Structure 1
Amino acid sequence: MGKPTGFLEYQRLSEAYEPVQERVKKYKEFVLRLSDEDASLQGARCMDCGIPFCNNGCPVNNIIPDWNDLVYRHQWREAIEVLHSTNNFPEFTGRICPAPCEEACTLNINNDPVGIKSIEHAIIDKAWEEGWVKPQPPSTKSGKKIAVVGSGPAGLAAAQQLARAGHDVTVFEKNDRVGGLLRYGIPDFKMEKGLIDRRMEQMQAEGVTFRTKVVVGTKDIPAGIINDATEMVSAETLQKDFDAVILAGGSEVPRDLPVPGRDLDGVHFALEFLIPQNKEVAGGPANPISATGKHVVVIGGGDTGSDCVGTSNRHSAASVTQFELMPMPPEQADKLMTWPYWPTKLRTSSSHEEGCERDFAVATKEFIGENGKVKALKAVRLEWKDGRMSEVPGSEFELKADLVLFAMGFTNPVGSVLDAFGVEKDKRGNANATTDGEGCYATNVPKVFAAGDVRRGQSLVVWAIREGRQAAREVDAVLMGESVLPR
């Protein structure tokens, strides 16, 4: 805990943002980290609550009260050691995690929760600045070779843990740079990519080998999925050349909307817009999809939709509208009914604050074109009753739309990769691997494991890190008979 009476003396202080008119001119991060003193006061608010529900609220089970207390006492070096003991990449989660730990904070029952995410952000950024984050190469080598397919947060976490346990780890990535959707799905204004690059350098110093532009299993990748691969490696080759394989790809197949006019020019999946933009920011060619001066409609109300909104604002779109199929949630959660679980409530992102009209309980029925290009859409309002959706009679309307972006989530991983290994799938098309009992994260194929979105479906970065760490321990135990890695 922090100061015994801190939660009574100090109020929550959120991280500040650069002004909207300044940040929309660039793709740099705009969240201003708390000062050391402000972070210390936030740490002081951590209560002696007896049962720290924040630990369970956090998927990687961060030891939050401990590093809150250390920051309160200005023991920053000890704080990063505690933080790194459960989380390989707090600079990722400290920026883009929605912070379920804060919803579970005991102080959140009748007050504002401790600013846990802002403290995490402050700890890791200070640790990098002070030079405390260094490679941790193993003292001995095991002689075992492990292949990790996919370089997103699950693959990176698994690779780092296994390399530190003494194994030779090779990470295979089909795109030209490491990071998966951390690299290409999340805009730079939320997380700059230098954060990935310096972790990659650390992992290389620890013995991890990265092979980019390599697709595993088959080059038959569905449309809409980025694929820069110039080389193919078969599943049989990996199984022959490595002692174990971890499948850690993402849930990449986007949910489509097959309504009339779907094939019009200007109707795209979200990643067809976001990925080229990230490449442009990294020095690549200009994004072929421009929102400049256009009426943009984003279909889907989650994080990907918010990223489309923020990017469209930086293109200087004429207008941005976001549709959500579900009804508008309440502005305030009923804490007595939902705490310590993740509540349903209206969440307004920084991208929404930059300019966006949000419309709830709306279904798109048709796209209207002119000379092969989308110009408008037809939609209808919905009524929800007892969990069932029905259209409201007479509620149809049209809306200008020069650019439509589908941000309705992802259905499953690339099935051809799983098929190449002969991995059984669950009903949703994910790799069928349990996290219970013996054989955690193991698939039906000997020495082939699955972790992250490829196993659990579309989820959060923090869940991917958890699964990568846990899968690494299971692989280590299978190969060595036991494991010293934390789970």
Structure 2
Amino acid sequence: MSDIMRPMSFAHLMNWILTEHHDQGTIFGVSKIVEHKDGQARPIFQEKIESPFGPAAGPHTQLAQNLIAAYAGGSRFFEVKTVQIMDGDELSKCVAKPCITAEDECYNCEWSTELYVPQAFAEYVKAWFACKLLAKEYGLGDPDGFVFNMSVGYDLAGIQSEKIDKYLNEMRDASNTEVWKECMDWALNNLDRFQNVDEAYVKAITPRISESVTISTLHGCPPDEIERIANHLIQNKGFNTFIKCNPTLLGYEFARKTLDSLGFDYIQFDDHHFLEDLQFCDAVPMLRRLMALCAEKGLEFGVKLTNTFPVDVAAGELPSEEMYMSGRSLYPLTLSLAGKLSHEFDGKLRISYSGGADYHNIKALVDCGIWPVTMATTMLKSGGYNRLAQIAAQFDDKENGAFQGVDVAKLDALLAQLFADCHYQKPMKPLPSRKLDKKVPLIDCFTAPCRNGCPIEQDIPAYLMLVNAGKYEEALEVITHRNALPFITGTICSHRCQDKCMRNAYEESVYIRTQKLKAAEGGFSALLPKLKAGAPVSGKKVAVIGGGPAGMSAAYFLGRAGVDVTIFERKDSLGGIVRHVIPAFRIPASAIDNDVKLMEAMGAKVVLNTEVKSAQELFDQGYTHVIFATGAWNKGSAGLEYGEEMNVIEFLEKAKKAPESLQLGENVVVIGGGNTAMDAARAAKRIPGVKKVSLVYRRTKRYMPADQEELELALEDGVEFRELLAPVGVKDGVLTCHEMELGAPDATGRRTPVDTGRVVEVPACTVITAVGEKVDTALYTANGLAVDNRGKAVVNAETLESSIKNVFVIGDGQKGPGTVVEAIAGATKAAKAIQAFDTEKYVEKNVNADYQAPLAKRGILCNDCKSCDEIRCLGCATVCETCTEVCPNRANVAVWVPGKRMRQIIHVDGMCNECGNCATFCPYDSRPYKDKFTLFWSEEDFNNSENEGFLRLEGDLTRVRLGGQVKEYHVEDASCGLYEDLRKLICAVYANYSYLLK
């Protein structure tokens, strides 16, 4: 497809709105429609606004439907997208696509409307007229209770040009324009479609679209040019005026220090914008002069804080060299600038705010006297326009007076809390990829990413729903169908499922692991007596060598399948690394014991204190299959040039069983950055006599392999992190290290450590090495198993059978040190290869029977997840539709198709400018704007696209592109030859969603 947007006619817009609202109760997909009924409003620009917020000049104010959707969500102040003399095709060619990515903080490389200025004007007029009609028809509030604020740039010559001057004049009075006539004629000719709108009301709609303007200037615009623009708009045009300021007013050092201290140290920028942009010392007298001028003219004046922040494209985030940052990383800068200006002007300078505003901070901003507030980044995230309803609900307090100044004391208090507020602290570790390793299908793309992110594909939505209902036994039954170790995984699982959780785009993942443990503890006593081995299977007898998580899981599943199975364990109890190495402060022995009981309930036998090294010996004893599940217990090494190092496994075993036997000295150094290193460091802190534990790693915390929560726990325990140090050797109580620095980022943004040539000494009575443990290659070769160049057994990828028939290798010994749930996944494969058993029993239970229940949660953020009783699951297995929520233009639409359990996604080509935001949030490794079945409005657009999709032709033919082939079909004919699901989808659009068609 191309990135050309095709604005809808007013008739098309209104038909879409009225039909959709009648059929579904929504407006352009916005289900949380806000009504203002109390009559309260804040005066501004001789107008009034029923709520002090709305969309910023950006992706949500470019097209009429965007503005209408924002109005439906409760917005009442609209900063329409910036216009400038360069427009349309000329501007579009300057904007790299995709141009937006808002995974966490937001980046964009677009700045003005991509429409021609007359088109943009028409969009704003159509939106204005439509909102007036909707206010009256649906009782959404006072028809005069909202304001459109223009945004223009970027130099005086452009603003004075005939094109922009005409725009300014017609936005002030649109009564003599063609688009106004189009809107008026349609409304008067379609009064029969309204219940509450009559002729008198329509004719009374004011054509005065805007009385105010926000001046947007490019970085580097000289202060005298900014003032000339403002003077022109105030003196010559008579507009209420805001001057948009850049965060560069704070200075490079302040911005760098602030972002670094909040964890955004990876964001790269230099000082050139700070040197070229308006300086604070120049801004203050200019603003004083403009304030005085507006007061003289009887106009309102203020600053708009702030513009987006220019940074370097360092990791391929967008296809440009520079991009503009917004969102939560911009909030501390913008708020700081608000504080600086408010002190300078004693709170008398009005501030229109836009810089990371969202549900978490907007009420506090407005309470400081900072309003109106406009937003973009939060609306680009999951929930989209539906996030506005929760924001609107914060303003039911009737505090709707005129601007009385900024309360500087309140603002100072807000700033004082800033650096302790978790909402603006970037996690130490980069966000893990939220994408699934598969492409989005054309049909039935709804999925539960948590389930797909789990190595054993647990039926997570199913058991979350049961836990939420207090049905713990049923939840545990669902869990144990795929997971043999619910207590262990409920306590220490690395929870890759949570990395994929779609709730991450709201605040943080659902605490899936916590809910699993809740089910295990709540349902164990009831479920355990009901568990039993499967019907005996003849001819199969399995020996499992090793009683760690992998071996226990294999025995559990084989026993459930009716196979005679015995575990041989060399130690005195089952549990492997989890039992004997992982510290008790991380997992209690009782949790492991409970999982052992579940395994034994399935009929598995256990032989302890017995080391078996020969598979043949077991075959000679009558066993038909042997599974090696021996783990990776061999020592790794940090490769010190001199001095002694203690292996981490050896240390942790002693620390767990006999801590009194350890004489570590006062200063302990742990070398490594993984979860095991964190365990060792935390365990060392608990050994008597140890005063200081340092963790040495050659990179920074951001690049350590340990999970975020393990890093946080180590820090809470007082472990000192010595970053960017490469160990050389230890002697006389000192670990000598080379000091490193991070070099230039590679294409992924990862920065390689480079030796600085400097040497650092770290006190070290004991050095514990926590680096890659190794498999026991000798065990495999002694049994005749083929091994690879890393010493690991060569196995069939699907069955994990080794080169020796009926000998299997699972767990850490097969793939290297891994997670418990990965061990369960391997055990499942091997057990299934020996005796097939079902794991799909509860798949259907992942789906919530009530389609509306998950939808009701969309757009609702939690302010304190750790204290929240609600599980917060979004029910993705029932309804995803994220691509429909995050699209500013509403170009992705969910439609019901007869015979389909869930709604299907249609992509509307003419409404898309390929911003790419839906690709960021789609759980698949895909781009919905490219990869979903597309509806085209014209033959030109169909021909200019490669998307699979359809175009309605004259008569009853439909042109379809599928698999690279273009054919024409009579889609009403079930035997036309088109893939049936797609045929039904097209027919559903024609029959029930005809408003999608041009």
TM range (shorter): 0.7 to 0.9
Answering whether residue 729 of structure 2 is matched by residue 366 of structure 1, we say: yes
Q: Give 2:786's match in structure 1, choosing from 405, 424, 441.
A: 424
User: Residue 484 of structure 1 corresponds to which residue in structure 2?
Assistant: 837
**Aligned AA for 2:785?**
V
Shift of 1:343: 11
**CA 1:435–1:330 in 2, change beyond 3 Å: closer, same or farther?**
closer
For 2:620 and 2:709, locate their aligned partners in 1 and report how far apart those are by CA, in whole Å.
50
Q: Give 1:74's match in structure 2, choosing from 470, 488, 494.
A: 470
Q: Give 2:450's match in structure 1, choosing from 38, 51, 54.
A: 54
**Aligned AA for 1:320?**
V
Q: Contact (CA 8 Å) 2:556, 2:599: kept in 1 or not?
A: yes
Q: Give 1:84's match in structure 2, choosing from 454, 468, 480.
A: 480
User: Residue 759 of structure 2 corresponds to which residue in structure 1?
Assistant: 396
Shift of 1:348: 2.2
**Aligned AA for 1:257?**
A
For 1:105 and 1:162, locate their aligned partners in 2 and report how far apart those are by CA, in whole Å.
31
User: Residue 240 of structure 1 corresponds to which residue in structure 2?
Assistant: 620
User: Residue 828 of structure 2 corresponds to which residue in structure 1?
Assistant: 469
Q: Which structure features the higher share of helix residues? A: 2
Tell me, what secondary structure is at the counterpart of 2:661? coil
Q: Contact (CA 8 Å) 1:309, 1:356: kept in 2 or not?
A: yes
Answering whether residue 550 of structure 2 is matched by residue 154 of structure 1, we say: yes
**Aligned AA for 1:324?**
Y
User: Residue 274 of structure 1 corresponds to which residue in structure 2?
Assistant: 652
TM-score by length of 2: 0.38
For 1:473 and 1:486, locate their aligned partners in 2 and report how far apart those are by CA, in whole Å.
10
Answering whether residue 696 of structure 2 is matched by residue 323 of structure 1, we say: yes
User: Residue 714 of structure 2 corresponds to which residue in structure 1?
Assistant: 351
Listed as ranges, the matches of 1:332-347 within 5 Å are none
Tell me, what secondary structure is at the counterpart of 1:133? helix
**CA 1:64–1:388 in 2, change beyond 3 Å: closer, same or farther?**
same
For 1:376 and 1:442, locate their aligned partners in 2 and report how far apart those are by CA, in whole Å.
48
Q: Give 2:541's match in structure 1, choosing from 145, 150, 154.
A: 145
For 1:454 and 1:163, locate their aligned partners in 2 and report how far apart those are by CA, in whole Å.
22
Tell me, what secondary structure is at the counterpart of 1:253? coil
Shift of 1:405: 0.6
Shift of 1:344: 8.6
Shift of 1:205: 4.2
User: Residue 40 of structure 1 corresponds to which residue in structure 2?
Assistant: none
For 2:532 and 2:607, locate their aligned partners in 1 and report how far apart those are by CA, in whole Å.
21
Q: How many residues align?
A: 395
Shift of 1:150: 1.0
Tell me, what secondary structure is at the counterpart of 2:567? strand
Q: Contact (CA 8 Å) 2:572, 2:608: kept in 1 or not?
A: yes
For 1:98 and 1:64, locate their aligned partners in 2 and report how far apart those are by CA, in whole Å.
15
For 1:359 and 1:170, locate their aligned partners in 2 and report how far apart those are by CA, in whole Å.
46
**Aligned AA for 1:249?**
T
**CA 1:345–1:118 in 2, change beyond 3 Å: closer, same or farther?**
closer
Q: Give 2:735's match in structure 1, choosing from 357, 369, 377.
A: 377
For 1:330 and 1:422, locate their aligned partners in 2 and report how far apart those are by CA, in whole Å.
39
Tell me, what secondary structure is at the counterpart of 2:462? helix
Q: Contact (CA 8 Å) 1:157, 1:469: kept in 2 or not?
A: yes
Q: Contact (CA 8 Å) 1:299, 1:322: kept in 2 or not?
A: yes
**CA 1:204–1:124 in 2, change beyond 3 Å: closer, same or farther?**
closer
Residues 216-242 of structure 1: per-residue CA shift (max 9 Å, x gap): 22xxxxxxxxxxxxxxxx332123221
Listed as ranges, the matches of 1:255-270 within 5 Å are 255-263=636-644, 267-270=645-648
Shift of 1:110: 3.9
**CA 1:209–1:181 in 2, change beyond 3 Å: closer, same or farther?**
same
Shift of 1:177: 1.8
For 1:432 and 1:424, locate their aligned partners in 2 and report how far apart those are by CA, in whole Å.
6
Shift of 1:467: 0.9
For 1:346 and 1:83, locate their aligned partners in 2 and report how far apart those are by CA, in whole Å.
24
Runs of 4+ aligned residues of structure 1 deviating over 6 Å after TM superposition are 7-10, 342-346
For 1:353 and 1:260, locate their aligned partners in 2 and report how far apart those are by CA, in whole Å.
32
Listed as ranges, the matches of 1:443-458 within 5 Å are 443-458=802-817
Pick the structure with greater CA Rg: 2
Q: Contact (CA 8 Å) 1:329, 1:344: kept in 2 or not?
A: no
Shift of 1:346: 8.6
User: Residue 479 of structure 1 corresponds to which residue in structure 2?
Assistant: none
Unmatched 5+ residue regions in structure 1?
Answer: 11-48, 218-233, 281-285, 332-341, 370-374, 477-482
User: Residue 175 of structure 2 corresponds to which residue in structure 1?
Assistant: none
Unmatched 5+ residue regions in structure 2?
Answer: 1-30, 33-382, 391-444, 841-998
Listed as ranges, the matches of 1:158-307 within 5 Å are 158-217=554-613, 234-241=614-621, 242-263=623-644, 267-280=645-658, 287-291=660-664, 294-307=666-679
**Aligned AA for 2:672?**
G
For 1:330 and 1:363, locate their aligned partners in 2 and report how far apart those are by CA, in whole Å.
14
Answering whether residue 686 of structure 2 is matched by residue 314 of structure 1, we say: yes
For 1:243 and 1:464, locate their aligned partners in 2 and report how far apart those are by CA, in whole Å.
22
Shift of 1:97: 1.3
**Aligned AA for 2:675?**
D
User: Residue 769 of structure 2 corresponds to which residue in structure 1?
Assistant: 406
Shift of 1:141: 4.3
For 1:290 and 1:69, locate their aligned partners in 2 and report how far apart those are by CA, in whole Å.
50
Q: Give 1:116's match in structure 2, choosing from 512, 515, 533.
A: 512
**CA 1:147–1:346 in 2, change beyond 3 Å: closer, same or farther?**
closer
Residues 389-431 of structure 1: per-residue CA shift (max 9 Å, x gap): 43112x2011111111111121x31112111211111222111
Identical positions, percent: 28
Q: Contact (CA 8 Å) 2:801, 2:809: kept in 1 or not?
A: yes
Tell me, what secondary structure is at the counterpart of 1:296? strand
RMSD: 2.8
**Aligned AA for 2:711?**
T
**Aligned AA for 1:401?**
A
**CA 1:349–1:91 in 2, change beyond 3 Å: closer, same or farther?**
farther
Shift of 1:99: 1.5
For 1:98 and 1:152, locate their aligned partners in 2 and report how far apart those are by CA, in whole Å.
17
**CA 1:330–1:458 in 2, change beyond 3 Å: closer, same or farther?**
closer
Tell me, what secondary structure is at the counterpart of 1:254? coil
Tell me, what secondary structure is at the counterpart of 2:727? strand
Tell me, what secondary structure is at the counterpart of 1:355? coil
For 2:707 and 2:817, locate their aligned partners in 1 and report how far apart those are by CA, in whole Å.
18
User: Residue 853 of structure 2 corresponds to which residue in structure 1?
Assistant: none
Tell me, what secondary structure is at the counterpart of 1:301? coil
Shift of 1:160: 1.0
Which structure has more relative contact order (CA 8 Å, sep 6+)? It is 1
Tell me, what secondary structure is at the counterpart of 1:413? coil
Q: Contact (CA 8 Å) 1:147, 1:246: kept in 2 or not?
A: yes
For 1:156 and 1:184, locate their aligned partners in 2 and report how far apart those are by CA, in whole Å.
15
For 2:553 and 2:475, locate their aligned partners in 1 and report how far apart those are by CA, in whole Å.
20
For 1:304 and 1:435, locate their aligned partners in 2 and report how far apart those are by CA, in whole Å.
27
Shift of 1:169: 1.0
For 2:712 and 2:502, locate their aligned partners in 1 and report how far apart those are by CA, in whole Å.
24
For 2:709 and 2:512, locate their aligned partners in 1 and report how far apart those are by CA, in whole Å.
20
**CA 1:149–1:303 in 2, change beyond 3 Å: closer, same or farther?**
same
